[in-house]
Amino acid sequence: MENWEDVARSWLGSEYDVATRTEVSSLFNTDRKELKDRFYRILEFGTGGLRGIMGAGTNRMNRYVVAMATQGLSNYLKTVFPDGQIKTVISFDSRNNSREFAKVTSDVFMANGIYVYLFDNIRPTPELSFAIRRLHCNAGVMITASHNPKQYNGYKVFWQDGAQITAPHDKNIIEEVRKITSPSQVEWGDGLNYPELIGPDIDAEYLNSILSLTLSPDSVKRHNDLKIVYTPLHGTGVYLVPRALAQIGFTKIYHVPDQDVSDGNFPTVASPNPEEHSALKMAIDRGEEVGADVVLASDPDGDRVGAAVRDDKGDFYLLNGNQAASILTKYMLERWKELGKLSDKAYTVKTIVTTGLMKDIADSYHVKMYNVLTGFKYIAQVVRENEGKGMTFICGGEESNGFNAGEFVRDKDSVITCSLFAECAAWLADSGRTVYGFLQDIYKEYGYYRESLMSVYKTGEEGASKIGEMMNNFRSNPPVELAGSKVVKVIDYLEPEKTGLPKSNVLQFVSENGSVVSVRPSGTEPKIKFYLGIRGNDADKRIRELTAQFGESE
């Protein structure tokens, strides 16, 4: 990239709108460090798309960066699908500027001769996946930064199977996007073309498909008064999760009114991440108020779920993503077995940083468990590769509160997950059990698993360099012990010939007593992540020791 100051000055030109020129001009006079951070690089279009802080600049999310990415994607689509009408679907969440970025994406697609279906209002990411498949589209774009803080927005690209892009399309799209370095290369259109708006009809088909996943309808009828509190955390789930729960048969669904408001500033939470206890505080308070059995929360784009259940003392206990995925996997496999649906063609999927408990559960039912790279797109890739082979996908999960079942959505899905979770609670109530008690029973059967995630933030140009140095250091000087237990295996996922998986910047350290630590840079935020996993009665103590050990790696 040319000198960042020259690039910044170019954004004072007439091809940029007045607000953008004013923002950049002000930074020249007031904050040159911030100015450099905005222009020292082009916001990287990664293997899933774009994600970054909003604002003017090449290293920020704004209408010009979105338009250039869409032009590159359009060029690639026209190369891959040279014959016939190319069709796309666009959806967006409640974040600030999401609607505007969706319109820019739509305008550029249409200016390139690409047909566009655009949702009439905010919708969850999994419904976009469903719509791509239902409308037989070539690709889709979701404007979202998932559960990131309010300053962020993003641009997720999906392929014709409804999954986020994987090889070879991901790298090929990146190459095309990199060729677009100026708004002057973008086909902006004349504003006279309009997309086809979609919404209610797709909602109905999507909800009916979710209804087809029901495994315990009689249990729901017997316990339809199970008290469920649900919050969309100001996001897209508000439209569909309560409807899905009601359609299955639940009658006591309580809202958190202040959080039903779609607001990209997420005013009631520090972070709209359902993995964090603080994000569920208002919902748990509401649960105490109404005497709820279960509290559910989805993130802004409606793909992740946080769940809190009553423990043996009657207090709310926030499940982590590993626990929730294990509970749902156990529930689904048990019901499939009881219903006579299990066969040697059934399978489940998890990611390499997700608890080994899921595999233990699958093994006990003689069901194959695939282990894939981090990212739900790799779970979806297994489903795609097994199509036409007589194989049946039961469910898949990842530690970061993502879960899915069935094959009509190819991404993690909060609407499906909330529905299955509530149904599981009703099924357990038939025998006087609770979700928390079910988790304890799982631990008794398979052993006590304890997982934790630790993140170290390194922001800006210097931070990106520091994260790279940390990964290099772990490769050249791997730990010899994990909480006092000797490291017996180091797995480097940059060596696909050894892992059997695509190349990925992930390291795993396995100790003699079965402790596993996975290290990887985040693909969406300026941080390095440490996934800690322990099995055994002393797991809580060993997790604390591992946290202290890797906390010193900064």
Active site members = 146
| Two structure tokens written together for 247 | 């359609």
**Cis peptide leading into 168, omega within 30 of 0?**
yes
Residues 330/435, Cβ–Cβ less than 8 Å = no
Stretch (H or E) spanning 129: helix 125-134
Residues 207/214, Cβ–Cβ less than 8 Å = no
Alpha helices (runs of H) in 387-510, residue ranges in sequence order: 414-429, 435-446, 460-476, 496-499
d(CA 366, CA 382): 18
User: Given strand 316-319, what is the order of strands in its sheet?
Assistant: 252-255, 227-231, 294-298, 305-310, 316-319
Radius of gyration from C-alpha coordinates of the chain: 23
Q: Which of 463, 473, 450, 405 is nearest to 547 (CA)?
A: 450
- Burial (Cβ within 10 Å: 0-12, 13-18, ≥19) of residue 423: buried
Residue 374, Cβ neighbours under 10 Å: how many? 22
Q: Which of 17, 94, 5, 2 is nearest to 56 (CA)?
A: 17
Q: What does the DSSP 8-state code read for residue 256?
A: -
